[in-house]
Amino acid sequence: MIALGLPPEASTIAPRVDLLLYAVTIVTGGVAIAIFVTMIVFGIRYRAGSKVKRAENVPEAQARARRRVETAWTLIPFALFLASFAWAARLYMVRADAPANSMELFVVAKQWMWKLQHPGGQREIDEMHVPRGQPIKLVMTSQDVIHSFFVPAFRLKQDVLPGRYTEMWFTATKTGRFHLFCAEYCGTDHAHMGGDVIVMEPAEFQRWLNAHAATQSMAARGEDLFRHLGCSGCHGENASVHAPNLAGVYGRPVPLSDGTTVVADERYIRDSILLPRKEVAAGYAPIMPSFTGQIGEDDILDLIAYIKSLASTKERPK
Ligand code: CUA
């Protein structure tokens, strides 16, 4: 592909984004040239005082031909616009839908750094190690203001917002180091908020994971928190309080007290911890205390990882 000074194409979607960019640039450039050439030609040909024929009362046949030309220059650009819309929408859908076999990584943005966590518990700051050829799904949130996770070589950018999770996925196609930027003005050190994505061969990545092995996985840390914060006092096996059993809840529909149903995803679990009155499970009293201000976003991700790890069990956690 033509380079045009663009960053390298290092993800599966990058060449597809570039192709769309080139197509739109060529079409709009072509239309602009056609319009300017016509303007100049007509400007010279029909300038004041030129002897060219200017028919004021055109015969019917000529009027019909003019209407056809007008219809054509209305419909052809319309079709071009619709085609580029359909093309971009298709790409947007591809971008939005992470493959089922994606490896999850968790990103917490804060002024002014990127904190990354692997399910195995490995933590990184301003660096993200990933294997080549493996779909990676990022689950991202912010601890303070709006940031934006931007990797030009992957042609991907996604806003990272406080109070909710946003997702982004990619499959890296080239090994190497690629810049990571914050693309949303987020305060004094916004310009320095960045880092590198390091794409490694799968075997090399596995060695990296082993070399940086954490004492605890995210789920194990979450389990500890579950006890220390007292969650197990109500949700645990020997609880005297009537609280929902969290085993097997992840990914399932949860009937709520207001008659609606939600799927217990990351968002729902997070809100249940911080805003417990918002969506109370049907059949339970709204007695859960809020943990707002008591735990950080990393802790919440650990707790979610723990609850996810209970997805396939039925028994109450201890
Ligand atoms: Cu974070 Cu700009």
Torsion 244-249-251-255 (CA) sign: negative
Picking from 82, 83, 92, the residue whose alpha carbon sits closest to that of residue 155 is: 92
Instruction: Report which ligand 1 atom has the smallest distance to the Cα of 183.
Output: 2
* Residue 219 backbone phi and psi in degrees, to 5: -65, -40
Instruction: Report which ligand 1 atom has the smallest distance to the Cα of 147.
Output: 1
Least confident among 26-30, 40-44, 53-57: 53-57
Q: Is 2 left (phi over 0), alpha (psi -120 to 50) or beta?
A: beta
Confidence of residue 177 (pLDDT cuts 50, 70, 90): very high
Above 70 in pLDDT, residue 2? no
Alpha-carbon dihedral angle through residues 292, 262, 307, 198, given to the nearest 10 degrees:
-80
Count of C-beta atoms within a 10 Å radius of residue 110 = 20
Mean pLDDT over the full length of the chain: 87
Which pLDDT score is estimated for 207? 92
Q: Is 176 left (phi over 0), alpha (psi -120 to 50) or beta?
A: left
Q: Give me the mean pLDDT over the 117-144 stretch.
A: 91
Q: If you search the block for the tokens 């990272």, which residue do you land on?
A: 160
DSSP H or E segment with residue 34: helix 14-45
User: What is the CB < 6 Å shell around ligand 1?
Assistant: 109, 112, 147, 182, 184-186, 190, 193
Which residue minimizes the CA distance to atom 1 of ligand 1?
147
- In the reported structure, the alpha carbon of residue 71 is separated from the centroid of ligand 1 by a whole-number distance in angstroms of 48
DSSP H or E segment with residue 228: helix 218-228
Instruction: Report which ligand 1 atom has the smallest distance to the Cα of 190.
Output: 2
Q: Which two tokens stand for residue 70?
A: 């007008």
- In the reported structure, the alpha carbon of residue 29 is separated from the centroid of ligand 1 by a whole-number distance in angstroms of 34
Residue 57 DSSP symbol: S
Q: Which two tokens stand for residue 3?
A: 């380079």
